[in-house]
């Protein structure tokens, strides 16, 4: 009888822990999101306007139409405007596009300052960015490696580039495997003077090993699901394209914080609460209907590509 009584208590304790708790999160007003990352590569340039949605909303972010967007090549010293580029939303989908008139037309040139102006529903939003220098890619190497630190046997690649002499150069290294961008949070490969961040006294050095190896595909974490684009990172016949984008200091720390928030789920109980990261998009008037978020940055780009043979 005593054993039966203990059995009933155990069942009660186990089943009593299955209550479902519905979280009621505060509903906030949507905010304008500006995605304006421009570069010196030939072809159309795109600025995207969207609106935020609630944290638990799984739908696509709504597009923002009806805005007037211009980017100007300016002289900060005397506030003169050299050239104006108009971005138009011809498809009415929130993607505002500047289309070159010739194949040689580009917006961004090294060393120049640029201003962004958005006119939306009677309110104006603005930002500024400078086209800093990037560095050439010396080469892309690869080799077969046996199982190390949990990584499977396979072909692993490295990109070789050297930081420019002079402190404060920051870069975003993007990698494309067979034309597909490696876009996971942990694959966001950032470099500060060839290393991870300021204070390392690493000026003018070859990019350190973790950054060189940052062009390999990283497996999904969590449920352990691995698709064909995960690992092994490369196989014979795969193409690797690496692009090194110059950044401003503000853009580097914006992306750094974005990466921290995207990947914080990997920290489990030690993850910090999600919040909006700093923006460089400002309102022209104190009476503007909303405060925008997002970022404006202009970049020089160097590119290299190789096929695994």
Tens of each residue's pLDDT in the chain, 309 residues: 555 444 444 544 455 555 566 556 566 678 999 999 999 999 999 999 999 988 777 888 899 999 999 999 999 888 899 999 999 999 999 999 999 999 889 999 999 999 999 999 999 999 999 999 999 999 999 999 886 656 778 899 999 999 999 999 999 999 999 999 999 999 999 999 999 998 888 999 999 999 999 999 887 654 445 555 566 789 999 999 999 999 999 999 999 999 998 888 666 556 667 777 899 999 987 788 889 999 999 999 999 999 999
Residue 161 sits in the same domain as residue 229: yes
Q: Would 19 be classed as within a structural domain?
A: no
Residues 107 and 191 in one domain: no
Is residue 7 assigned to a domain?
Answer: no
Q: Please indicate, yes or no, whether residues 119 and 165 belong to a single structural domain of this protein.
A: no
149 lies in the same domain as 240: yes
Nearest to 200 by CA among 239, 220, 170: 170
Residue 102 lies in a domain: yes
What is the maximal distance between C-alpha atoms in the chain? 93
DSSP secondary structure of 77-141? TTTEEEEEEEEB-TTSSSEEEE--SSTT--S--TT-EEEEEEEETTEEEEEEEE------EEEEE
Same domain, 96 and 141: no
* 122 and 73 fall within a common domain: yes
The CATH number of residue 93's host domain is 2.60.40
Q: Is residue 255 part of a domain?
A: no
Residue 22 lies in a domain: no
Q: Are residues 146 and 243 in the same domain?
A: yes
Q: Is residue 272 part of a domain?
A: no
Other CB atoms within 10 A of residue 307 CB:
11
| Cβ atoms within 10 Å of 32's Cβ, excluding its own | 24
Structural domain containing residue 112: 32-132+278-300
Let me know whether 91 and 171 are in one domain.
no
- Tally the domains of the chain: 2
CA separation for the pair 207, 189 (Å, rounded):
11
pTM summary value: 0.86
């Amino acid at each position: 009888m005593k054993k039966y009584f203990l059995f009933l208590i155990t069942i009660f304790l186990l089943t009593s822990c299955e209550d479902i708790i519905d979280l009621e999160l505060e509903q906030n007003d949507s905010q304008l999101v500006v995605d304006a990352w421009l570069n010196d590569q030939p072809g159309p340039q795109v600025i995207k306007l969207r609106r935020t949605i609630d944290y638990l909303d799984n739908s696509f972010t709504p597009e923002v139409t009806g805005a007037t967007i211009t980017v100007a090549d300016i002289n900060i010293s005397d506030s003169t405007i050299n050239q104006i580029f108009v971005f138009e939303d011809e498809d009415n989908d929130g993607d505002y596009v500047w289309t070159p008139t010739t194949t040689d037309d580009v917006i961004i040139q090294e060393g120049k300052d640029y201003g962004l102006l958005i006119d939306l529903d009677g309110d104006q939003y603005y930002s500024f960015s400078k086209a800093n220098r990037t560095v050439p890619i010396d080469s892309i190497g690869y080799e077969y490696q046996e199982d190390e630190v949990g990584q499977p046997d396979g072909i692993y690649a490295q990109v070789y580039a050297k930081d420019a002499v002079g402190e404060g150069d920051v870069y975003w290294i993007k990698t494309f495997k067979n034309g597909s961008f490696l876009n996971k949070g942990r694959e966001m490969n950032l470099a500060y003077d060839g290393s991870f961040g300021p204070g390392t006294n690493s000026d003018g050095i070859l990019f350190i090993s973790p950054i060189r190896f940052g062009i390999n595909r990283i497996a999904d974490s969590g449920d352990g699901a691995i698709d064909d684009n995960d690992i092994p990172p490369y196989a014979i016949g795969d193409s690797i394209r690496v692009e090194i984008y110059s950044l401003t200091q503000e853009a580097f720390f914006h992306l750094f914080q974005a990466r921290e928030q995207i990947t914080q789920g990997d920290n489990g109980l030690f993850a910090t609460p999600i919040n909006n990261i700093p923006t460089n998009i400002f309102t022209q008037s104190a009476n503007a209907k909303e405060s925008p978020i997002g970022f404006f940055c202009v970049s020089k780009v160097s590119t290299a590509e190789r096929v695994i043979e």
